[in-house]
Amino acid sequence: MMGVEQIKDVLHHRINQADEHFLQVIYAMVEAYAEQHQIGGDEDIIGYHSDGEAITITALKAKINLAEEQIDKGEYLTPEQLHQESEQWIKSIE
């Protein structure tokens, strides 16, 4: 099974080789899909997680807001604390 990046590469290659008829068919499919799944605005896909799950603007904004709230509450690690935890973790798996 091909991963997301491989599929994108193949699609980009095929689109670059395509004639006008093929492009019109692909365009119609993409627009129908976007309309059916209400993709647009804050629901635009802006990236993917390593498992292929889409990341939308809305989801990213929610994560940013949560992170800012955690920072305001002091719920974070300093670089020194992170380094110490990393060293402890490495020692625990050795």
In tens digits, what is the pLDDT along the chain, a chain of 94 residues? 888 899 999 999 999 999 999 999 998 998 888 777 766 655 678 888 888 888 888 889 999 999 999 999 999 999 999 999 999 999 999 8
Q: What's the rounded Cα separation, in Å, for the pair 10 and 39?
A: 23
> Would you state the pLDDT for residue 48?
87
Q: Are 57 and 43 in contact (CB under 8 A)?
A: yes
CA distances from 56 to 38, 47, 59, 65 (A): 12, 7, 5, 14
Q: State the total domains in the chain.
A: 1
Q: What's the rounded Cα separation, in Å, for the pair 14 and 33?
A: 19
Domain hosting 25: range is 4-93
